A and B are shown apart, each in its own frame.
Chain A
């Protein structure tokens, strides 16, 4: 068990954000955390990353309680891949990836030749070594996301936490990033990602953790837990599951309940 969360509860100034959350992941798994905005996905991640230490329950990272580890120790087990965003200062891609090696070097030194090799290896693994010399802010959103993944790989942590890795990306880049993530999981990384797209979870995840108002409403393999009821609970809309040769596809109802007539009319037009 690389990551085990048991009865995790967390409150922000008397407001319960997480209630009795329990789940676990094994090496080489992708766990997709699903749920609408504000259900506590981010808070869950922040607890695992050690930002919030006054939680109840336990978070075991490779068997050690997360809150007892300092940021340096925790960072050797868990790497965080944020959504790409602007920074106050600009760095080259190589420097950006080198930052991932920070916890492996003496805090009073600077990364040297060995760390540079690590950084190039990390870039090569995700097929982005040609970007090494570019300046980070000049890259497209998809490239930036790849570089941030490379930075996490350079950190040499086995658990990767990704905060909505495909948001702000175009359709092609979304798929490319997810393919990369799948490869990394197959290589032995444990990936925890939050997502707003249940279809992606269905395609790429080994397990799904569905959250509603701070609690877990479903945890298991996509085949076991994904159904119309769950999707209705999470998103409040009707979504049909269509089983096909290309996996299970989600078909959301295109028009709201109040306006079914318009949908029927459209279908009627299309039939003709």
Chain B
């Protein structure tokens, strides 16, 4: 009897959690989106040249409906041409990395998978280093990083396809090998690079930064982002089913290998695009899906949008620290590691409890 009572209590609290969760499936994304909007406006006003938030709003609104001009031309240039691309970029990159993390964790059925597990970042770094060595322009660096990132993950998928046994394990092992190979390649490029200008450029690129973000980069990243996100959004329920295991998913009518390949390719497009414009920004793709899962649960159809919004918000905030904390800009990759790693240790110590 006592057991039954305890049981009833457990179920009541569980039921409460589920109802709460269901209501939150609607409210959480809305609240996060509003926070993101407010965060973006505050970020636009922050900087060495301060612009009041109200002017920021008026400058932006003026683009849609003409308003009486209460701001200076300098303000407009700073907000629209310098800060806006960078802030949009921070949001897009955070969103892309988190979406990739959530997708990889789902299709690898492992909450520890991160976007760079299949060597996407190592590939991008190699491509960028190669481009810097060859004296390419900034845009050339972005393109080559993007292509090498896709190429390396493509090779990983092909290698894993031909290996027998567990596909997930093969993919991860092939990813580790490819990553190690590409890092060696990058090290060699650093060795032969001109130490006065090329080597610092490579090193700086690998620290990750949004400092050089221009509207052109935003346009460059938006297209692969959209292409990568569409399959993820469409296949959201299939991905949820896949998380419980290949064989069970298959007996419920899901094609695990095909689905995993499509999701990996789409997610890789997101990482490749974001890494190629921002350099190596670690931890976001691992930590943000974790936090999001605690907020909203594991169902991919809701985890994906919540992770994307959380990721955008997180990187927006961190980028503000990166550009405003010190006179000299701190590379954002260093900051995300400083925040992400201790937070992850906290998660490990507290014990993994995925609701």
Interface residues on A, range: 35 or more
Q: Describe B's contact surface by its main secondary structure.
A: helix
Contact A138:B10 (CB < 8 A) given known A80-B251, A89-B293, A111-B237: yes
On chain A, the residues within 8 Å of B251 by CB distance are 49, 71, 74-75, 78-80
Spot the interface stretch: B41-49, B54-62, B242-250: B242-250
Interface string of A125-139 (1 = CB under 8 A from B): 000001111110010
Does A76 touch B at the CB level, under 8 Å? yes
Q: Which chain B residue has the least Cβ–Cβ distance from A70?
A: B255
Contact A110 B247 (CB under 8 A): no
Q: How far is the CA of A160 from the CA of B159 in the complex (A)?
A: 37
On chain A, the residues within 8 Å of B340 by CB distance are none
Does A252 touch B at the CB level, under 8 Å? no
Interface string of A143-172 (1 = CB under 8 A from B): 000000001000100000000000000000
Does B236 touch A at the CB level, under 8 Å? yes
Contact A90:B11 (CB < 8 A) given known A72-B253, A99-B244, A103-B252: no
In the complex, number of A-B residue pairs with CB atoms less than 8 Å apart: 107
Contact A89:B238 (CB < 8 A) given known A100-B252, A131-B11: no
On chain B, the residues within 8 Å of A133 by CB distance are 11, 14-15, 17-19
For A94, give its contact among B18, B234, B298, B355 (CB under 8 Å): B18
Nearest-CB distance from A234 to chain B (Å)? 27
Does B354 touch A at the CB level, under 8 Å? yes
> Which residues of B in the span 1-37 have a Cβ within 8 Å of any Cβ on A?
10-11, 14-15, 17-19, 21
Contact B14 A135 (CB under 8 A): yes
Q: How far is the CA of A261 from the CA of B17 in the complex (A)?
A: 61
On chain B, the residues within 8 Å of A103 by CB distance are 252-253
Nearest-CB distance from A45 to chain B (Å)? 10
Does A82 touch B at the CB level, under 8 Å? yes
Does A92 touch B at the CB level, under 8 Å? yes
Q: How far is the CA of A111 from the CA of B241 in the complex (A)?
A: 11
Q: How far is the CA of A51 from the CA of B250 in the complex (A)?
A: 9
> Which residues of B in the span 250-307 have a Cβ within 8 Å of any Cβ on A?
250-255, 293, 297-299, 301
Does A121 touch B at the CB level, under 8 Å? no
Q: How far is the CA of A76 from the CA of B243 in the complex (A)?
A: 20
Contact B10 A134 (CB under 8 A): yes
Nearest-CB distance from B103 to chain A (Å)? 13
For A99, give its contact among B21, B234, B240, B301 (CB under 8 Å): B240
Does A203 touch B at the CB level, under 8 Å? no
Q: How far is the CA of A6 from the CA of B263 in the complex (A)?
A: 38
On chain A, the residues within 8 Å of B253 by CB distance are 71-72, 74-76, 102-103
Does B110 touch A at the CB level, under 8 Å? yes
Q: Which chain B residue has the least Cβ–Cβ distance from A105?
A: B237
Q: How far is the CA of A105 from the CA of B301 in the complex (A)?
A: 15
Nearest-CB distance from A91 to chain B (Å)? 6
Q: Which chain A residue has the least Cβ–Cβ distance from B238?
A: A107
Does A87 touch B at the CB level, under 8 Å? yes
Nearest-CB distance from A77 to chain B (Å)? 11
> Which residues of A in the span 97-122 have a Cβ within 8 Å of any Cβ on B?
99-100, 102-103, 105, 107-111
Contact B234 A108 (CB under 8 A): yes
Contact B248 A82 (CB under 8 A): yes
Contact A87:B245 (CB < 8 A) given known A71-B253, A75-B251, A138-B10: yes
Contact A90 B355 (CB under 8 A): yes
Nearest-CB distance from A162 to chain B (Å)? 12
On chain B, the residues within 8 Å of A50 by CB distance are 250
On chain A, the residues within 8 Å of B39 by CB distance are none
Contact A110 B301 (CB under 8 A): yes
Q: How far is the CA of A105 from the CA of B236 in the complex (A)?
A: 13
Does A95 touch B at the CB level, under 8 Å? yes
For B254, give its contact among A51, A76, A102 (CB under 8 Å): A102
Q: Which chain B residue has the least Cβ–Cβ distance from A140?
A: B7
Contact A89 B298 (CB under 8 A): yes
On chain B, the residues within 8 Å of A75 by CB distance are 250-253
Nearest-CB distance from B45 to chain A (Å)? 39
Q: How far is the CA of A70 from the CA of B258 in the complex (A)?
A: 12
Q: Which chain B residue has the least Cβ–Cβ distance from A133?
A: B15
Does A270 touch B at the CB level, under 8 Å? no
Given A80-B251, A89-B293, 6 further pairs, Cβ under 8 A: A75-B250, A79-B251, A89-B244, A91-B298, A102-B254, A110-B236
What are the 8 A-B residue pairs with the smallest beta carbon separation, nearest first?
A103-B253, A133-B15, A89-B298, A80-B251, A75-B253, A72-B253, A133-B18, A134-B14
